[in-house]
């Protein structure tokens, strides 16, 4: 196994790659110049309150808080930009951190020229680019994961004899958990790594297993000590002893996500069905208020054991979907759509998939066991856990940098002439450039859909003369575009209902000021409320203020008059 000596000798080429491609990512900021992701609003909302030393609205979200905390800190020290662009620049820095960590991982297995090529592929990846220019937690999650992998590779030599190393492992998982709640599952991955450390391959003794259990217990104790204040806080809000306050609705959501229709409609229906006691009328999301009807909660045992046949069938379907759809998309991303036009593209696009497998085989032959064990300890836990419920590509995005390690390792170890390797590397770069082109063309026209909402939010800001009032304005909207750009820091989701009376009751209880109704979201996600889009709609509790129409998209702004 190669060492990390003389790292400084190669800093300049690495820094040049990072600088050039960071500028490339910055140039693409304009592709996402309008906030088009509801999760992004959540992180910016939390960061706003953190910056003002407030936990207001912090506990209504199901999202980890670490990313928002970093945005808030960046906002404090970078006051000349708005928070949206502060977050995007923070993403570039986090991506740079990820590149350096991946480079250090590569130093153990790759020659310098191949290691630099690895970083080029890392920066060229269109799926990583798409997240890097979007305000989402993957921007923290991926560097954290690469840091943990690097730590485990280095700790492998020491057999994790030092207690402080066990604490650091717990700290990594804690930071994972504070970024994404489901990350607690990777405690199981740490235990797998510890197990292989403890048995020490050829010297299997009872003392090895005792050592394994001691270390595992220590890690569990450290983890729960670190997260206990947060868990106590969640319990004070929800009355549940969960590691996340979204578990119950996610279980119901998993039941509903039985088809390829993986959109928010299923999610919102899941939330609606869990709120029979009308909590949706008092708060905009499950998890805000304590439940009055415990028998209507969904528990894991109910999900798994209520109908074992359905559970097994669901897991089987998810496994097939994961290995035939999600995993290929993670590696070759949206470019897979090209072969739908011509099957001639398919062999070229599948090259990286084959190279990952070949790279794994080469590492096995070269006895680079520690990297394979670390990779599969995390990958196996993730693939087993998430296929119990539903599988999204972003759950497995953290593994893409390691897939790239396998690809480049294969290129390094394969017995080909120098010119053949150069041609192969050029083909890989060419494929990635094609993927970037596909990505660019798929998103560059998206902003046109939101032009009408831009006019709507500018109208609201003109109506509200004082900026201090904008921050407390309550706008009900299915997707928070007008909400965010009107400078309000509260989000109120239009209830998933076909009953106008429920919607008005919800708005009255929560003292909502405005309702935004639009064709972009209501036709798909609130079809039973699309009567609100009709020009002749009238109601004594809803006063139509203005109608906006651009690019076949329509927005109607209502004011509540109760």
Q: How is the beta sheet containing 553-560 ordered, strand by strand?
A: 475-477, 514-518, 553-560, 542-550
DSSP line for 403-456:
HHHHHHHHHHHS---HHHHHHHHHHHHHHHHHHHHHHHHHHTTGGGGGHHHHHH
| % of residues, the chain, pLDDT over 70 | 76
> Tell me, what CATH number does 491's domain have?
3.40.190
**pLDDT of residue 223 exceeding 80:** yes
Length of the chain measured in residues: 562
DSSP line for 236-305:
HHHS---S-TTHHHHHHHHHH--SS--SHHHHHHHHHHT-TTSHHHHSSSTTSS--S-GGG---HHHHHH
The CB density around residue 27, as the number of other CB atoms within 10 Å, is 10
Phi/psi of residue 137, each to 5°? -70, -15
- Determine contact, residues 170/226, Cβ cutoff 8 Å: yes
Helix (H) or strand (E) holding 457: helix 451-463
Top mean pLDDT of 9-18, 129-138, 504-513 is at 129-138
pLDDT (0 to 100) of residue 285: 40
Chain-centre distance for alpha carbon 247: 17
Mean pLDDT of 306-323: 80
Residue 545 lies in a domain: yes
Phi/psi of residue 243, each to 5°? -80, -5
| Residue of 229 and 254 predicted with greater confidence | 229
Residue 511 lies in a domain: yes
Residue 429 lies in a domain: no
pLDDT (0 to 100) of residue 191: 92
Top mean pLDDT of 98-102, 203-207, 338-342 is at 98-102
Q: Which tokens go with 231?
A: 């868990």
pLDDT (0 to 100) of residue 246: 64
Band of the pLDDT at 428, cuts 50, 70, 90?
A: confident
Residue 414 lies in a domain: no
Q: Average pLDDT over the chain, rounded to whole?
A: 79
Residue 525 lies in a domain: yes
Domain that holds residue 473: 448-560
Distances (CA, A) of 226 to 47, 173, 352, 374, 444: 22, 10, 40, 24, 43
- At 533-554, the pLDDT tens digits run 888 888 888 999 989 988 788 8
* Long-range pairs, 520-528, Cβ under 8 A, ≥24: 520/449, 520/450, 520/453, 520/479, 520/553, 521/478, 521/479, 522/478, 524/263, 524/265, 525/263, 525/264, 525/265, 525/268, 525/478, 526/478, 526/494, 526/496, 528/497, 528/498
pLDDT (0 to 100) of residue 279: 44
Please give the tally of structural domains in the chain: 1
- At 471-527, the pLDDT tens digits run 678 888 888 888 888 777 777 888 777 778 878 888 887 888 899 998 888 877 787
pLDDT (0 to 100) of residue 535: 84
Residue 116 lies in a domain: no
**pLDDT of residue 129 exceeding 80:** yes
**pLDDT of residue 56 exceeding 80:** no
pLDDT (0 to 100) of residue 299: 63
Top mean pLDDT of 315-319, 358-362, 460-464, 494-498 is at 358-362
Q: Which residue has the tokens 């983890």?
A: 223
6 phi-psi bin (left φ>0, alpha ψ -120 to 50, beta other): left
Closest CA to 498 of 527, 459, 518, 539: 527
- At 147-169, the pLDDT tens digits run 999 999 988 876 666 788 889 99
> Which range, of 183-192, 248-257, 333-342, 407-416, averages the lowest pLDDT?
333-342
pLDDT (0 to 100) of residue 400: 93
Q: Which tokens go with 96?
A: 């740079």
pLDDT (0 to 100) of residue 117: 92
Sign of CA dihedral 394, 14, 168, 134: negative
- Determine contact, residues 22/96, Cβ cutoff 8 Å: yes
The neighbouring-strand residues paired with 539 are: 542
Q: Which tokens go with 385?
A: 């856990």
Q: Which tokens go with 156?
A: 């492998």
- Determine contact, residues 256/270, Cβ cutoff 8 Å: yes
Phi/psi of residue 9, each to 5°? -60, -30
**pLDDT of residue 48 exceeding 90:** no
How far apart are alpha carbons 96 and 118 in whole angstroms?
A: 14
Residue 131 lies in a domain: no
Band of the pLDDT at 349, cuts 50, 70, 90?
A: low
pLDDT (0 to 100) of residue 408: 92
Band of the pLDDT at 445, cuts 50, 70, 90?
A: low
Chain-centre distance for alpha carbon 493: 21
Top mean pLDDT of 184-198, 334-348, 381-395, 468-482 is at 184-198
Mean pLDDT of 79-90: 82
Closest CA to 186 of 173, 168, 197: 173
**pLDDT of residue 104 exceeding 90:** yes
């Amino acid at each position: 196994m190669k060492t990390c000596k003389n790292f400084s000798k190669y800093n300049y080429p690495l820094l040049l790659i990072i600088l050039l491609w960071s500028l490339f990512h910055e140039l693409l900021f304009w592709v996402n110049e309008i906030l088009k992701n509801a999760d992004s609003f959540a992180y910016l909302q939390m960061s706003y309150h953190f910056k003002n030393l407030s936990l207001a609205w912090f506990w209504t979200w199901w999202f980890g808080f670490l990313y928002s905390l970093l945005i808030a800190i960046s906002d404090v020290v970078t006051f000349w930009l708005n928070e949206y662009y502060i977050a995007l620049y923070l993403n570039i820095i986090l991506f740079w951190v990820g590149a350096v960590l991946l480079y250090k991982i590569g130093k153990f297995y790759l020659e310098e020229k191949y290691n630099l090529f690895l970083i080029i592929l890392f920066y060229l990846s269109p799926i990583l680019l798409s997240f890097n220019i979007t305000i989402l937690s993957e921007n923290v999650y991926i560097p954290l994961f690469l840091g943990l992998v690097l730590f485990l590779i280095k700790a492998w030599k020491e057999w994790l004899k030092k207690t402080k190393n066990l604490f650091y492992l717990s700290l990594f998982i804690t930071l994972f958990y504070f970024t994404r709640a489901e990350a607690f599952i990777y405690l199981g991955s740490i235990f797998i790594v510890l197990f292989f450390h403890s048995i020490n391959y050829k010297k299997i003794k009872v003392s090895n297993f005792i050592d394994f259990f001691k270390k595992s217990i220590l890690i569990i104790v450290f983890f729960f000590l670190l997260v206990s204040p947060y868990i106590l806080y969640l319990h004070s809000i929800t009355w549940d002893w969960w590691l996340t306050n979204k578990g119950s609705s996610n279980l119901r959501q998993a039941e509903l996500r039985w088809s390829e229709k993986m959109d928010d409609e299923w999610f919102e229906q899941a939330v609606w069905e869990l709120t029979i006691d009308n909590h949706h009328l008092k708060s905009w999301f499950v998890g805000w208020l304590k439940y009055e009807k415990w028998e209507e909660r969904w528990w894991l045992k109910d999900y798994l054991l209520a109908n074992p046949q359905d559970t097994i069938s669901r897991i089987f379907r998810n496994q097939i979907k994961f290995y035939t759809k999600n995993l290929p998309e993670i590696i070759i991303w949206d470019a897979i759509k090209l072969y739908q036009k011509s099957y001639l593209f398919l062999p070229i696009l599948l090259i990286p998939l084959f190279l990952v497998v070949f790279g794994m085989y080469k590492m096995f032959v070269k006895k680079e066991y520690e990297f394979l064990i670390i990779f599969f300890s995390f990958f196996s836990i993730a693939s087993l856990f998430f296929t119990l419920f539903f599988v999204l590509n972003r759950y497995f995005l953290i593994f893409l940098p390691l897939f790239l390690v396998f690809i480049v390792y294969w290129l390094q170890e394969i017995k080909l002439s120098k010119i053949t390797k150069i041609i192969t590397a050029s083909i890989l770069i060419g494929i990635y450039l094609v993927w970037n082109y596909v990505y660019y063309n798929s998103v560059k026209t998206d902003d046109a859909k939101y032009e009408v909402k831009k006019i709507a939010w500018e109208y609201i800001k003109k109506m509200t003369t004082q900026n201090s009032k904008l921050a407390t304005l309550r706008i009900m909207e299915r997707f928070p575009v007008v909400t965010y750009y009107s400078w309000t820091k509260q989000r109120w989701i239009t209830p998933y209902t076909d009953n106008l009376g429920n919607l008005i009751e919800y708005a009255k209880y929560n003292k909502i000021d405005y309702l935004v109704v639009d064709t972009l979201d209501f036709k798909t996600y609130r079809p039973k409320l699309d009567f609100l889009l009709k020009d002749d709609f009238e109601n004594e509790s809803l006063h139509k203020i203005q109608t906006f129409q651009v690019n076949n998209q329509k927005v109607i702004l209502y004011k509540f008059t109760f």
